[in-house]
Structure 1
């Protein structure tokens, strides 16, 4: 049976209206509701389903970030993960921890934990990078199945149905492998109160990137963060001729 590593990230809740800081250095995070990245919830759910089918022996949830990330880790444990690993990165250094740095962390943990499968959300709703799964597979030189909408495991072979432009693509991978979860892979379960209580007793190991030999230093610099431009009001036209005339005036045709 496979040992599964699953990544969980703490992000600003999807229902919160994002506000840009006055100095345009980033977005306001203080006093703002956070939750687990929705695509990571799907990844955790898929790992749990593999264990329920007796295809996975253990699920290890991993999060990278400051102390507050433990709340997100406990949510994954309450959903059904067996234990957690918190890679502590101080809040003031989190901006430097981009997809490349996180992928190196996952690669080291996969080697240490002797993992057979890594399941990650296809992207985080804060940065929308969609890079960590692909980079992790590259660092480890493992097979990868991205944008998974269906996953089947038989022995050491994974069948992944992935969403591509214009349809679906089915790929077969030999384990070990990295999979990134897309929206239609499953419907995540809610953590029940008994499982929330049990999660408090599950083991969470705390380590630092240095313990894994990973340097948190990004080569990417954020120059400025701004609000999107205000959308201009449209106009109504009475006929096709008037529409074409307006389009010509605006230089669109």
Structure 2
């Protein structure tokens, strides 16, 4: 069984995000970047399936500029067998990313495609669902447990009301949630070995794939600064403020 894992390069979760002065986006110069945390979980799940003898090959894929190869090397150090980089300079919408992923999926023919449920920058939570729709494949989102069976894959999903278990036919697209696993750390020997693993980079002709822009980013701004609280001397004063100033009662 071949597994394809799509990853994204994002600002490291431990870094405080700063916006550009013109509000056109986040400042990336000199900022530490990392594999999107949900994508790390997807990579870990694929590697675990390979270690269990279920998967024969794990391929990771990133779409972005050449800097994305750094994160692909990280996935190779975590246990992926090879990596594919689609060299795209511009920022793409989820639908366009799904179209590029479909192109690779049709070429590589994996049985399972794993993605993080969302990226921590855009928070769109759309790419996996759109990819499954374009391919006409089974899909399961927010996976907290994945078990490959003889005739398919069983996925437990986390919902607001509890857990839901789905039985999917292969091939399938699965997006991963936080409780699925805890990603491992790359050891120094594996980091060195990753340098020898194949990483294929290819340019993409976006015009040939019917790539169109459907949304426009007008501006970005930081959240409003939280106002300082006030102390009250009695319950009556608290009720008065909640009623007259906050309008709660």
TM-score (norm 1): 0.94
SS in 2 for 1:245: helix
Equivalent residue number for residue 162 of structure 1: 157
Relative distance call for 1:24 and 1:182 in structure 2 (3 A) is same
> 2: distance between equivalents of 1:212 and 1:59?
29
- Equivalent of residue 184 in structure 1, options 179, 182, 186: 179
1:46 equivalenced with 2:45 (yes/no): yes
C-alpha distance in 2 between matches for 1:217 and 1:68:
24
- Following the alignment from structure 2 to structure 1, what is the Cα–Cα distance between the partners of residues 46 and 235? 54
Q: Is 2:241 the partner of 1:246?
A: yes
Shift of 1:79: 0.5
User: Does the 8 Å CA contact 1:105/1:212 hold for their aligned counterparts?
Assistant: no
Give the corresponding residue for 2:103.
108
Structure 2 counterparts to residues 103-142 of structure 1, below 5 A: 103-142=98-137
Q: Give unpaired runs (5+ residues) of structure 1.
A: none
Q: Secondary structure at the match of 1:149?
A: strand
State the distance in 1 between where 2:27 and 2:57 align. 37
1:80 aligns with 2:79: yes
Distance in 1, matches of 2:153 and 2:232, equals 55
Which residue in 2 is equivalent to 1:7? 6
Tell me whether 178-187 or 204-213 shows the greater mean CA deviation. Answer: 204-213
What is aligned with 1:26?
25
2:224 aligns with one of 219, 224, 229: 229
- Three-state SS of the structure 1 residue aligned to 2:56 is strand
Larger mean Cα displacement after TM superposition, 60-69 or 229-238: 229-238
Superposition deviation, residue 180 in structure 1:
0.6
Alpha-carbon RMSD across the aligned residues, in angstroms, is 1.5
Shift of 1:213: 4.1
Q: Can you give the 5+ residue segments of structure 2 that lack an aligned partner in the other structure?
A: none
CA 1:147–1:210 in 2, change beyond 3 Å: closer, same or farther? same
Residue 193 (structure 2) pairs with residue 198 (structure 1): yes
Deviations 1:75-100 (A, max 9, x none): 0011111111000012xx12xx1111
TM, length-normalised to structure 2:
0.95
